[in-house]
Chains A and B, each alone.
Chain A
């Protein structure tokens, strides 16, 4: 079984400042890791994922996350946020024995202010 911990429930950040959202997981098997974003009144959208290979993965809108096996972490970062990045962000994990079933963290609400 897997579990996910998102350490921050809410992260306020000023526009153009950097942001880091923390995610730690536990699992007895190898994992796949995901970040999803949920904008107000919309469904979750995949932001980026780590399946294998390079431990640093990037999204098309400037986010990146790094898989750190020794620290069992998959933190999400963006060097400069926009107002439009205001959303809820969910970290999720799937074990290689889980047939694609996702375990989600509790989510982190990012509020970007001018």
Chain B
């Protein structure tokens, strides 16, 4: 089946630094990738949607300058948390779909997540 990887699985950083999280589709081309955030005991909250080669679309309330998303190729998307603060500590999950935005019935394949802790 389709596999999505994330790197790193865990990261601890100091307040004020930036952290980059990678999301890769290993055996398919991901036209669309999604980034989610999950707090303990809560559901996944969609942060943004990105299509390869175009700017990401952010959900309401998500700071685009804080969470920079780059989808430069069909197999790689990155999320950079800039000037991270303790309130950014969370579990970040990506998913990938090989259909375009219009093919909304395609299955999303999820990465295992990245645990970010900001001290």
Chain A positions near chain B (C-beta within 8 angstroms): 4, 9, 32, 36, 41-46, 49, 51, 90, 94, 96, 98-107
Q: State in angstroms the CA–CA spacing of A36 and B111 once bound together.
A: 13
**A residues less than 8 Å from B104 (CB atoms):** 32, 94, 96, 98-100
A-side interface mostly: loop
Who on chain A is nearest to B108 by CB? A102
- CB distance B43 to A105 under 8 Å? yes
Give the docked Cα–Cα distance between A106 and B49 (Å).
20
Among A36, A94, A98, A103, point to the contact of B110 (Cβ < 8 A): A36
Query: Are A100 and B110 within 8 A (Cβ)?
Result: no
Are A51 and B105 in touch, CB under 8 angstroms? yes
Let me know if B102 and A99 touch, CB within 8 A.
Answer: yes
Is there contact, CB below 8 Å, between B43 and A100? no
Within B99-119, the residues touching A (CB, 8 Å) are 99, 101-113
Q: List 17 A-B contacts (CB under 8 A).
A: A4-B43, A32-B104, A32-B105, A43-B112, A43-B113, A45-B110, A46-B107, A49-B107, A90-B44, A100-B101, A100-B105, A101-B49, A102-B34, A102-B46, A104-B36, A104-B43, A104-B44
